[in-house]
Amino acid sequence: MRIAILGCGQLARMMALAGWARGHRFSFLAEPGEDPAPVEGLGEVVVAEPNLSPELLYRALGRPEVITPEREQLSAELLNGLAQLAPVYPDGRALTLTQHRAREKTFINEQGFATAPWQAVDPHTDLDALGDLLGWPLFIKSCEDGYDGLNQWRLDGPGKAPKLNPDIEYIAEGGVAFERELSLVAVRGTDGSVACYPLTENRHQGGVLQSSLAPAPSLPEGLQAKAEQMAHTLMAELNYLGVLTLELFLVEEQLLVNELAPRVHNSGHWTQSGADTCQFENHLRAITGLPLGATRALAPSAMVNLLGVTPPAPELCPGAKVHWYNKGVRPGRKVGHINLNDANEHSVRASVDRLVDALYGNA
Ligand code: ATP
Ligand code: MG
């Protein structure tokens, strides 16, 4: 099939690499000025010039049979225009909700699921009083354009309010004293069937994912089923197609939803070598109308992000599988990741700690 991906970063790259193996062909949409190096050689790249109508864009993308977004921040106008010409999965509704934190959290709460306590704020809000109400540390996040901890501030106590831009929408969230951060990568197919990977444990540094362990070790009884039930409800309500990721906080055996990502996710990269079917292939299966592949973990698995660093010497991580994104190395930039599998969860965790220590010195 001919598939257009709206984006040209590493997620687009890995979707295309999984799809080429199945005989699909790809085209990609790049923002003006964006470097499409991650998808170099994998298909046509079209630049989203502002004057390009959906029709012209559709033609430039090679009249794709199906279109899939790589990122949330795409205009509803573009998505709805393209949807007149070819199916867009996940669709404009899912993206409109997840690209805006206040809309997203309202939707999650309406489905009966807990989030951190939150409230919309503006430059006039008394953030000191709000911190006392919602709980310190107080997180201020822009509603749009937030990823990898960008456009958000953590206030540890009163008197530290940042200067908010009156033209931008924000929310404030009470800090959650979570025991662990988890994520659930789920996929829903055309027949409405849903498959979920095992819950994954994620560690962040400075708001950026540094490593993941899967299946997340020693989870409370029934937690996987609870998370899967959440995914079923959210995806059915959205009539969702493709991969959806739930970022979760585990607090006293309860799950709070941090955010939803309407796409394949960094915390699902371990599935490339640790699961029956990887998240990229399953996303493509869902959007091309194929039955979903099995999501079982084959072995204790882990993923370590390469953030502004090149892969370490092979002897540091025997058996590691390096995925390089063809990007230039800049401080903190996600330029690749390493997947690891081991005989048991203790040895895989020890390998992650060794690797993180060697790369960043903070294991
Ligand atoms: P990404 O797109 O990479 O997932 P993001 O920029 O959308 O990140 P969030 O997921 O909201 O940002 O936050 C990034 C990280 O900051 C979280 O994974 C968590 O470690 C921490 N964090 C965010 N909100 C809270 C909160 N309310 N309580 C405690 N920690 C938080
Ligand atoms: Mg997040």
Asked if 182 contacts 255 with a C-beta cutoff of 8 angstroms, the reply is yes
295 C-alpha to ligand 2 centroid (Å): 22
Asked if 355 contacts 317 with a C-beta cutoff of 8 angstroms, the reply is yes
For residue 266, the ligand closest to its alpha carbon is 1
Residue 284 scores a pLDDT above 80: yes
| H runs (alpha helix) in 164-250 | 223-238
- Cβ-in-10-Å burial (0-12, 13-18, 19+) of 321 comes to middle
The tokens for 165 are: 């831009």
CA distance 24 to 285: 11
Question: Measured on CA atoms in the order 91, 96, 101, 105, is the torsion positive or negative?
Answer: negative
For the stretch 290-346, pLDDT in tens is 999 999 999 999 999 999 999 988 888 888 999 999 999 999 999 999 999 999 999
Residue 356 scores a pLDDT above 70: yes
Residue 145 scores a pLDDT above 90: no
Architecture of domain 180-360: 2-Layer Sandwich (3.30)
With bands split at pLDDT 50, 70 and 90, how would you rate the model's confidence at 33?
Answer: very high
> Which residues, 6 or more positions from 297, have their beta carbon under 8 angstroms from its beta carbon?
197, 198, 214, 215, 274, 275
Asked if 192 contacts 242 with a C-beta cutoff of 8 angstroms, the reply is no
122 C-alpha to ligand 1 centroid (Å): 20
The answer as to CATH 3.40.50.20 being correct for domain 2-88 is yes
323 C-alpha to ligand 1 centroid (Å): 24
CA distance 363 to 359: 9
For residue 139, the ligand closest to its alpha carbon is 1
According to CATH, the topology of domain 117-174 is: Dna Ligase; domain 1 (3.30.1490)
Residue 198 scores a pLDDT above 70: yes
Residue 135 scores a pLDDT above 70: yes
Q: For residue 162, how many other CB atoms are within 10 A of its CB? A: 12
| H runs (alpha helix) in the chain | 10-20, 54-60, 76-83, 92-98, 101-110, 127-134, 223-238, 271-274, 279-287, 345-360
Residue 24 scores a pLDDT above 90: yes
CA-wise closest residue to 101 among 7, 178, 169: 169
CA distance 207 to 274: 25
The predicted model gives 48-74 an average pLDDT of: 95
CA-wise closest residue to 40 among 61, 69, 10: 10
Residue 162 scores a pLDDT above 80: yes
- Residue identifier of the C-alpha nearest atom 5 of ligand 1: 147
149 C-alpha to ligand 1 centroid (Å): 6
Residue 160 scores a pLDDT above 90: no
CA distance 223 to 253: 8
The ligand 1 site (C-beta within 6 Å) comprises 116, 139, 141, 146-150, 152, 173, 175-176, 181, 204, 207, 247, 258-259
Asked if 250 contacts 180 with a C-beta cutoff of 8 angstroms, the reply is yes
Q: Looking at this protein, which amino acid is placed at residue 50?
A: P
- At which residue do the structure tokens 């990887």 appear? 278
Residue 151 scores a pLDDT above 70: yes
- Residue identifier of the C-alpha nearest atom 24 of ligand 1: 139
| Average pLDDT score, the chain | 96
Q: What is the pLDDT of residue 271?
A: 98
Q: Record the pTM.
A: 0.96
Residue 224 scores a pLDDT above 80: yes
The predicted model gives 3-31 an average pLDDT of: 98
CA distance 12 to 1: 16
What residue ranges do the domains of the chain occupy?
2-88, 117-174, 180-360
With bands split at pLDDT 50, 70 and 90, how would you rate the model's confidence at 273?
Answer: very high
134 C-alpha to ligand 1 centroid (Å): 16
Residue 222 scores a pLDDT above 80: yes
With bands split at pLDDT 50, 70 and 90, how would you rate the model's confidence at 26?
Answer: very high
26 C-alpha to ligand 1 centroid (Å): 32
With bands split at pLDDT 50, 70 and 90, how would you rate the model's confidence at 146?
Answer: confident
Reduced DSSP (H G I as helix, E B as strand, rest coil) percent helix, strand, coil of the chain, to 5: 30, 30, 45
- Cβ-in-10-Å burial (0-12, 13-18, 19+) of 51 comes to exposed
Q: What is the pLDDT of residue 363?
A: 62
Strand partners, 113: none
Mutate to test the pocket of ligand 1, among 105, 211, 244, 258 (most ligand atoms within 8 A of CB): 258
Question: For the range 323-330, what are the long-range contacts, defined as Cβ-Cβ under 8 Å and sequence gap of 24 or more?
Answer: 323/14, 323/269, 323/272, 325/9, 325/10, 325/13, 325/38, 326/13, 326/37, 326/38, 326/40, 327/10, 327/35, 327/37, 327/38, 328/35, 328/37
- Residue identifier of the C-alpha nearest atom 3 of ligand 1: 148
